[in-house]
Structures are given as C-alpha cells and as structure tokens.
A and B are shown apart, each in its own frame.
Chain A
C-alpha cells in the first residue's frame, strides 16, 4: 500500500486530474454560456463527439494539431447550429432536441469513422507537452503539473475570459438577462433569439474544443463514443458550480480527480476489486453530486423555456 500514498504518485495524480478535467472544463464553460442564456443544452455529448471526430479527421488530413482543433470547434458549432435552429427558431423542446443531437452525434461519427478510418488503424500526431520554465523544475509537483500540453494550460485563460465576457461586458450582461427575464431584453431593442443563438454557438464551440482535446491532446485516435458520457458529466459540473465559470473550472478539476484516481486504482491489482467498479467512479460521483445539490437556487429562471416573442 506504500506506493499508493507515495508523494510523487499524488503529484502525478493531480497532474493527470488537470489533464483529464480539460475536456470537462471546456464543455462546462460552454454550457455555462448556454444555460446563462436560458438554454438547457443536453446535446453537449453529441457536440463533443462531433468535435472529437472532425478534429481527428482534420488533423489526420493536414497533420496539424491547431487545424485539427479549429476543425473540432467548427464541427461542434455546426451541430450547435442545428440545435439552435430547432430550439430557438422552431421553439422545439430543448430536452428532446438535445437528446436527438446526442443520438445524431453518436451515430454520425461512428458511421463516418467506420466508413473512412477504421481500416487505417492510424493515429495522429498529438499536442506535445510544454515544460513551463521554473515552475516545471519545482520538486515533486513541478514535473507532474507543469509539463502539460498547451490545450491543458489554455483552460486557465479561457476560464478567465469567460468570466470577463459574462460579468464584465455589455454582451454578458444582456446574455444573463436573457436567461432571467428575456422580455426585459426585448423591450430595450435587443433580439432574444440572436443572443440565444450566440450563447448556443459559443457553448457548442467549447464542446467541440473539449471533444477535439480527446483525440488531439489526450489519446491520438478517434474511437466510437470516445467521450463516454463526459458531456453529461459537464452538465452536472455546471449545476454543482452554480452556473459560475470559475466554479465550473474547479468542479471539473474535482471530477478530473475522480477520473485520475480511478485510473490509479485500476493499476492496483492487489486491491482485488474488479476494475469496472473503479471505472464507474466518475459517474457514481455525478449522481451523488446531483442528489446533494437539490436546490435550484442560482439557476437561470428561464432555463429550458423557449422565448415566445
């Protein structure tokens, strides 16, 4: 048991937590945008999968990780546009459309992957770790925390950026008002629909980026259903973080820790516990979190409600 509690291992787990949390952070930041504007986008899983696939495909064709990430973002946004048309313009039920988007993302990416790539069996070049000068030389934690790839580091400035946009710009103020009292926005001459489109597309872009990280910054391949429920966990993260971007960052880190711990535990055969139990950890924690956070305090009032101009 000694080696489980070894300090280096703890540091490595923390580093892994951040890396494993990265797709959750992106997806949750995007969902904060959508939900703050009153849109409950449960289709992030499908948008992440699409981003993972388009990112992989673009990187495979071009050999460029940045191009792959861009393709991931655009892939997510393309599906996001479908979601926006149906929920904002057609005013269809957000849950139903979200569920359909998830099925679409899963089916479409599996189909395209099998059609074009499954026989190649090839991976792509992924984003390489960058050691941050000085910090990476710190004893124990340095190497574990500060030798990540650029996408992982990007979670920090992006979280800050989301906070600034939501709470320190006129756009963010209006967007939050759309989620609370859309009519008050309409009477000052702003289009509620336009803001919801914007929020959904920004959210979808983040989901696509989170998905692309899975194929371009984590594993080097696309596999069917590579997201394995991360989009749904991101939904729980947003609730637990009470719709705050900074909160979402830390809650996602916590879930990243669950992933990292379960990976470590899987590597301990002497515990004599079936590894499937450990694999279930993040999902079990999601359920526990959602049961603990029963109050809807802080939730945007118009969450999930279509606006009838």
Chain B
C-alpha cells in the first residue's frame, strides 16, 4: 500500500528568537501512508508541519519532494506542490458559504464572481466520491465542528492536495465523529493520498497509522511501524521516561452531599436557553464528571455554578445552604474553588507574575495583606510552595505567567485553587491543551484532594480525562442531562451516543 519516499524533511531547524522549536527535524513520509506525528505540547510538531505547509519558513534545512528540493515561500507554494494542511483552528470564514470559502483568494482580485454553478458541481462530485456530506451552499457557521472539519479536508482535495497534514484533528470530535474521520483517512489513503497527522492521543495513533514518528525536545526521536510498537513504548519515547497510563486510585469514600443542583435552568450570554432542568448531587470525596460535545450547556452550567450566569429556575444548594444567584465573590468566600475553561480569559492575568496570579482573588486575605499593603514575603512563600508541589517551570514566583507553557500555567491555576483546601471544586477542562507530564501532576493532585474529602465537579470534553479521575460520569446534550454512566472505557460507545443525544434506555445493550 505504501510506496517510495514521497517527502523528506531534512535537518529542519526553526528558531523564534532564543526559542528553538525545531532542532534538526528529519522525517520521511512514504507515498500513500498515514504517518502519525506524536509528541507532547511544545515538542515542535506543529512548527514542523507549519513549515511543511509553507506557513513558516525554516531557519535551516531542506524539504524534498520525490528527491527534489523545493522552496516553500507561502501556503500557496505548498499547495502548488500538492501539500495542504487542515489547521487545528479551521481556516474557514464563518459567515461565507462552503463554496465561497473554496474560491477565497483564488484568481485575480478583480475577477467577477458570476457563476458558482461549476464550483458547486465540483464540490458535490468530490463530496460524493469520498462519501462526505458537504453541501456547497451551506453557511460554514451553521455546520457542526465535525462537518466543518470535513469541509476543510475537502477544501484541500478541491485544491488538488496529494499530501494532507491534519493538526490534532480529533481534539474537537465526539468518539463517533472520530471514528468517521479515521474511516475517511483510510479512504483517502486507499485513493492514493498521503496523510501526516499530529496527535498526542496514543489510541487513535495506534488505530489508524502505518508509521509513527515521535517528537521530543524539538527533534524526531524515532520512527516506528505501528504494527511493531505498543502504546506504552510510544508514551515512553514521547515523554522520555515511563508514564503512568492508569493513575492509581483508591475507591471513593462518598460522604455527605456538598453540592445539590435542583432543576437548574439558565440561558447563555446571548440569551438563548443553554441549561434545561438539570439536577444532580456531588458528595464529599467524589469526583463527578460531566461529559458532552462542547456547546451543549456544560460551559453555562459551570458558569452558573460559579455565579457568573444568572439562574432562571432551579436551586443550587451548597452545604445545605441555598446559594442560588450568589456572586462569584460570595461563592469563593464559601470555599468554592474554580478552574475555569478558558484560563486566559478568566483564570489568570497574562502580564502578571506567578505570585500576583496566585493572590488574584485573595489579595485582601489577611494572610497576604496587612493594613492594605501586600505582604510580599508571605506571598512569595505561598507561591513557591505551589510551584514546588506542582513542579511548575520555572520555579520563580516573579516570572511573568504569559511566558509559561500552557501546561505550566494550568498547573499554577490548579495549584492555586487547591491551596485553598476547597470544600467544593468546580473544574472545567482540567487537562485541555497540556502535555502528559503536566496532565499527570494535575490529575494526581485533584485525586488527592478528593481523597482528602473535597467534592469535585469536573466538566470535560476529553473522555480520557474523565475515565482517569471521575467516579461517575454525567452526560449532557442540548442543555439536558441525558444520563449517568460509570467511568469505564468499555462504555465509550454508549457515552458517545449519549453525547449525541440518545438516552440510555434507548441504547441497545452491547452484546
């Protein structure tokens, strides 16, 4: 099935100022294969692929196609050489149609757009050929994320791409959509295309690739055939040491009810219904996971619980006390810790130092201020304690948080919240966009807090994260709680169907 070397990255270097993102990346891609590029955040995968797609130019090194060195000055050049990339954040203009997106920037600017019929016919033909359901006249923003991704893939094919680069394509998909994507990838390869895809999910890499290259510290450390390796071996290569694939976990000792949500209903920031009549409980010493495809009310649920969205109906009871409609400050005073979904927007202030970020909500706390003046010594000490415990790099309380990697930022946020010994902890996305090393640390610490008796609600779109730490999983779809499942990997299909709106009793039990 796979053929001779189609493409070769030869000793690619890329520096951004003092930061070395690629330090001699060498990679061979064979004609007609699915080649996975595996690595932690910051390993240099995306940079290497952006160089290949003509988005970035290398500081040193060569790119060869079928043995011929080529120069890629722009993504346009790359497409001319048959190389196209589907970026993690789609390059589709949301308020244009699919067809308009396909012709964007093509031809001379002065060209009149008269007859879209030909474009529509070509898109329909391609769509049918690969069994996709891309409608050329659909407005992009009305499509689901999975559909938009198919639109992006078809866009590359429309422009005659032979080598397709997919940057973390499954990060935004449900298990069913992921399954469908993997089938599509197989179909494309069967049709003679070549695929390089970036991922840090071991399972899907094992499931779909012919060969796997592992990147670590800005280099490709190894390339292996999928058939000749194991997830554990890959993980070791990726991190450079053994990782705990399964976190050791004590059975939960559920105590009294800490948080009770009764018939909670609220609207999103745009005023549209987002959470409908949701009821559940979280007990001391348990982690309750909330799964769902993003945009199904989980964000609003967590905002409402944090006091950031008005509640239309229902009650929120914390430690037996009705706290419905309490402000974020009141919730925080009652010992509610919050790890928000978007740490840049709500969790931290990027230009501030680590120490300043640690005391953000608690600058008035007598432990940190006296008579209106900040107690620098105490603040530095408290920060240093968090940095040590969570192995944050750098260990410098005066470093600016914006200069840290996403993983280190998240470690600080989780550490800050846990340092308050919260009775109830609200987490939306614990490990999104962070590497395996950081993942392990924050998950372990959250489990420790659970064992110490904290009640924790973990909203996540990453099922792996929920399987690793949650004691039970609630599934949301369309603003409603669809059902509850135990966190067993064997039930992933069931969870996927529920995320798609199927109620538990409507699902045939697996044979």
Residues of chain A whose beta carbon lies under 8 Å from any beta carbon of chain B = 164, 168-171, 173-174, 176-177, 180-181, 183-190, 301
Residues of B within 8 A of A174 (CB): 104-105, 109
Supplied contacts A170-B110, A189-B74, 18 more A-B pairs, CB within 8 Å: A168-B112, A168-B113, A169-B109, A169-B110, A170-B111, A173-B96, A173-B100, A173-B113, A174-B109, A176-B93, A180-B93, A183-B89, A184-B104, A187-B75, A187-B91, A188-B104, A189-B76, A189-B105
Smallest CB–CB gap between B212 and chain A, Å? 27
In the complex the two chains form, what is the Cα distance from A170 to B108 in whole Å? 7
Residues 42-76 of B contacting A (Cβ, < 8 Å): 55, 74-76
Whether a CB of chain A sits under 8 angstroms from the CB of B17 is: no
Query: Please, how many angstroms separate the alpha-carbon atoms of A177 and B91 in the complex?
Result: 10
C-alpha spacing A164/B111, complex, angstroms = 11
Q: Shortest distance in angstroms between A282's beta carbon and chain B's nearest beta carbon?
A: 31
Does B74 lie within 8 Å of A173, measured CB to CB? no
A180 touches B94 (CB 8 A): yes
Pick from A168, A184, A188, A190: contact of B114, CB below 8 A. A168
Q: How far is the CB of A197 from chain B (nearest CB, A)?
A: 13
Contact B104 A173 (CB under 8 A): yes
Which residue of A169, A180, A185, A301 is within 8 Å of B111 (Cβ)? A169
When chains A and B are docked, how far (Å) is the Cα of A297 from the Cα of B167? 31
Complex contact A177–B104 (CB within 8 A): yes
Q: Return B413 CB to nearest CB of chain A, in Å.
A: 25
Residues of A within 8 A of B55 (CB): 187
Give complex CA distance A177, B113 in Å.
15
Closest chain B residue to A167, Cβ basis = B113
Total contacting residues, chain B, CB less than 8 A: 27
Docked CA distance A176–B108 (Å): 16
Chain A residues lying within 8 Å of B74, measured Cβ to Cβ, are 189
Q: In the complex, what residues of A have CB within 8 A of residue B112's CB?
A: 164, 168-170
Of the candidates B101, B103, B107, B109, the one whose C-beta lies within 8 Å of that of A184 is: B101
A–B pairs, 18, beta carbons within 8 Å: A169-B110, A169-B111, A170-B103, A171-B110, A173-B96, A173-B100, A173-B103, A181-B93, A181-B94, A184-B93, A185-B105, A186-B75, A187-B87, A187-B91, A188-B75, A188-B106, A189-B76, A189-B77
Q: Nearest B residue to A185 by beta-carbon distance?
A: B105
A36 to chain B, nearest CB (A): 11
Chain B residues contacting A183 (CB-CB under 8 Å) are 89, 91
Q: How many A-B residue pairs have CB under 8 A?
A: 69
A184 contacts B110, CB within 8 Å? no
A186 to B74, CA, bound (A): 9
Give A51 to B479 CA distance when docked, in angstroms: 55
A-contacting residues, B216-271, CB 8 Å: none
- Nearest chain B CB to A254 CB, angstrom units: 26
Interface check B482, CB cutoff 8 A: no
- B92 beta carbon closer than 8 Å to chain A: yes
The answer to whether B107 and A170 touch across the interface, beta carbons within 8 angstroms, is yes
- Chain A residues within an 8 Å CB radius of B142: none
Closest to A298 in B: B95
Q: Mark B318-358, 1 if CB is under 8 A from A, else 0.
A: 00000000000000000000000000000000000000000
Bound-state CA distance A188–B75 (Å) is 6
Which A residues are in CB contact (< 8 Å) with B108? Answer: 170
Neighbouring A residues of B95 by C-beta, 8 Å: 180
Report the separation of the CA atoms of residues A302 and B114 in the bound assembly, to the nearest whole angstrom.
Answer: 27
**Bound-state Cα–Cα, A187 to B79, Å:** 10
**Minimum Cβ distance to chain A for residue B167 (Å):** 12
| Closest B residue, CB atoms, query A164 | B112
List of B residues within 8 angstroms of A176 by Cβ: 93, 96
Chain A residues within an 8 Å CB radius of B110: 169-171
- Measured CB to CB, the closest approach of chain B to A292, in angstroms, equals 17
A202-B74 Cα distance, complex, nearest whole Å: 27
Q: Can you name the residue of chain B whose Cβ is closest to the Cβ of A184?
A: B91
Q: How far is the CB of A183 from chain B (nearest CB, A)?
A: 6
Supposing A169-B112, A170-B113, A173-B100 touch, asked if A184 and B75 sit within 8 A by C-beta, the answer is: no
Cβ of B287 to closest chain A Cβ, rounded Å: 37
Cα A190 to Cα B96 with chains together (Å): 17
Report Cα–Cα, A174/B113, bound state, in Å: 12
Q: Which residues of B contact A189 (CB under 8 A)?
A: 74-77, 105
Q: Are B75 and A181 neighbours in the complex by a CB distance under 8 Å?
A: no
- Of A170, A171, A174, chain B has the most CB atoms within 10 Å of the CB of A170
- Quote the shortest CB–CB distance from A96 to chain B (angstroms): 19
Cβ–Cβ < 8 Å partners of B75 in chain A: 186-189
Closest Cβ of chain B to A175, distance in Å, is 9
Chain A residues lying within 8 Å of B106, measured Cβ to Cβ, are 170, 188
A190 near B94: Cβ-Cβ < 8 Å: no
Complex alpha-carbon distance, A184 and B93, angstroms = 7
Could you tell me the distance between the alpha carbons of A101 and B104 in the complex, rounded to whole angstroms?
33
Chain B residues within an 8 Å CB radius of A184: 91-93, 101, 104
Report the separation of the CA atoms of residues A184 and B151 in the bound assembly, to the nearest whole angstrom.
Answer: 14
Q: How far in angstroms is the closest Cβ of chain B from A167?
A: 8
Shortest 3 CB-CB contacts between residues of A and residues of B: A189-B76, A188-B105, A171-B109
